[in-house]
Structures are given as structure tokens and as C-alpha cells.
Amino acid sequence: QSVLTQPPSVSGAPGQRVTISCTGSSSNIGAGFAVNWYQQVPGTAPKLLIYDDTNRPSGVPERFSGSKSGTSASLAITGLLAEDEADYYCQSYDSILSGVIFGGGTKLTVL
Amino acid sequence: QVQLQESGPGLVKPSQTLSLTCTVSGGSIRSGGYYWSWVRQHPGMGLEWIGYIYPSGSGTTHCHPSVHRLVTISVDTSKNQFSLKVSSVTAADTAVYYCARLGALVWDFDLWGRGTLVTVSS
């Protein structure tokens, strides 16, 4: 069971907007530790999508955005494309574990 | 640009030691501000952080509590490599193992190796 909770799956039609939630606790997200998001196409390594809650690495489209409030964070994807179909993971740091934690992952299906 | 590449046996027998090496190219493993890490992914499952090493000084390491008794992470700065050893493996250690660079400021994995599948089977 992951320390960070994500919905197992989300779906949307091309062009639509979807959001993926990531719920933590007072020892990780709620403590102010950064939330990072990764995209993983099956069979490939994860790719950093959002870092430090809201920042996009160079080359990541503006369609991807992150937000954080309290003990939760969200990843929003607008203008869905077929190529966005992948697994998405949130990640942070936990002060009780004194280590890195991941969410269980969310499978995005583009209908 | 900096790249990471995992190497090691793809098949390990139960009770033996799993050994993997990550070679860092295009940059120095001693560059400040990063922890060098291992993450694994069991078949069809999510990502699991194993541990990291910070190459400065004696090489500070930290591992997930659930695996720390079985895991050793080391670094060879002369070869620009870091390594993972998991002892007394079982079938539950079958996974894709990734090496990754972990930023020390916001704990983000900004670079990943391609991953290597390690199967534990007799």
C-alpha cells in the first residue's frame, strides 16, 4: 500500500481535460515537501513531468500542470492527445520514513 | 548530456545476491546536489524507491526501511559508477531495476536509466 494515494485509473476523450489526484499526509505533502510527477509509457523508464509542485522541465508541454494544497496535489492534462496514454506517478519525501515515496500510479486511457 | 545505464545479470538464483551497476556518462558522479538512486518496479506494479548514495566523503547512503538489511549501495567515483547489491533474494525481488539521479533540493528523479529486468528463479 502506497503512502501517497492516487486513483487507479482515469480516462478522457481527445481534447478533453483530466486531473489526477495525489493524497498524502502531514509527514509528506502536508509538511511542505515538494511533489513531483512522472509519466511512464509501458515498457519504458519513467520521465519527469512536473517537479517542485508546479514546474515543468524543459520540453514538457504546457498542457501538463501541477498544483498542491494542504496534504494533496494534482496533475492536470489539457487538450488530451492519444500519446498521453500512459501511467502517471506522484512522488514526494516523507519525514517519518526519511525517504522517497511514490503514489501507486494512475493509468490514463485516452478514449 | 548526462546518461545512466544499468548493467548486471538478468537472472539470479534464489538465496543468492543480486548485483547491478549503474554507469554515469556525460558528467561526473561527484557533481554536487544529487543523490544517486535505485528504484525498482515489480511486474505490473508501481515504482518502489530502494535507496540512494551521496558520493562525497565516505559515501552517505540511505535505504528504504523495508529493504535496508538486505541492500548495499556503493559508489566507485574513479569509474563514475554506483552499484546495488541485494542479498538473499527471493522471487519477490523479481523486478525491473532502474538507476536514477535524485535532486537534493526537491527530491525529484530528473534522470533515469532504461532499466534492467532481473528475474529471480532457479
As a three-state string, the secondary structure of A43-88 is CCCCEEEEECCCECCCCCCCCEEEEEECCEEEEEECCCCHHHCEEE
Let me know: does A50 contact A66? Beta carbons within 8 Å: yes
Whether A46 and chain B come into contact, CB under 8 Å, resolves to yes
Let me know: does B91 contact B120? Beta carbons within 8 Å: yes
What average pLDDT does this structure show over B93-99?
Answer: 97
Chain B interface mutation, best of A60, A98, A100, highest count of B Cβ atoms under 10 Å: A100
pLDDT digits (tens, 9 = 90+) for B17-27: 999 999 999 99
What average pLDDT does this structure show over B51-73?
Answer: 86
Interchain pair B108, A45: CB under 8 A: no
Contacts of A44 in chain B (CB under 8 A): 114
Q: List the pLDDT tens digit at each of the 111 positions of chain A.
A: 778 999 999 999 999 999 999 999 999 999 999 999 999 999 999 999 999 999 999 999 999 999 999 999 999 999 999 999 999 999 999 999 999 999 999 999 999
Pairing of strands A106-110, A9-12: parallel
Count of alpha carbons within 13 Å of A53, Cβ hemisphere only?
Answer: 13
- pLDDT value of position B56: 77
% residues pLDDT > 90 (chain B): 83
Contacts of B109 in chain A (CB under 8 A): 36, 38, 46, 48, 91
Let me know: does A104 contact A5? Beta carbons within 8 Å: yes
Contacts of B71 in chain A (CB under 8 A): none
Q: Looking at chain A, which residue has its C-alpha nearest residue B47?
A: A102
HEC assignment per residue over B61-87: EEECCCCCCCEEEEEECCCCEEEEEEC
pLDDT digits (tens, 9 = 90+) for B28-54: 999 888 999 999 999 999 999 999 999
- pLDDT value of position B31: 84
**Which of A48, A98, A101 shows the shortest C-beta gap to B110?**
A48
Residues A13, A14, A15, A19: is their CA dihedral positive or negative? positive
| CB contact set of B94 (below 8 Å; sequence gap of 6+) | B42, B43, B118, B119, B120, B121
Interchain pair B98, A34: CB under 8 A: no
- Residues A65 and B16: their CA atoms lie apart, in Å, by 44
Whether B47 and chain A come into contact, CB under 8 Å, resolves to yes
| CB contact set of B46 (below 8 Å; sequence gap of 6+) | A2, A89, A102, A103, A104, A105
Let me know: does B115 contact B6? Beta carbons within 8 Å: yes
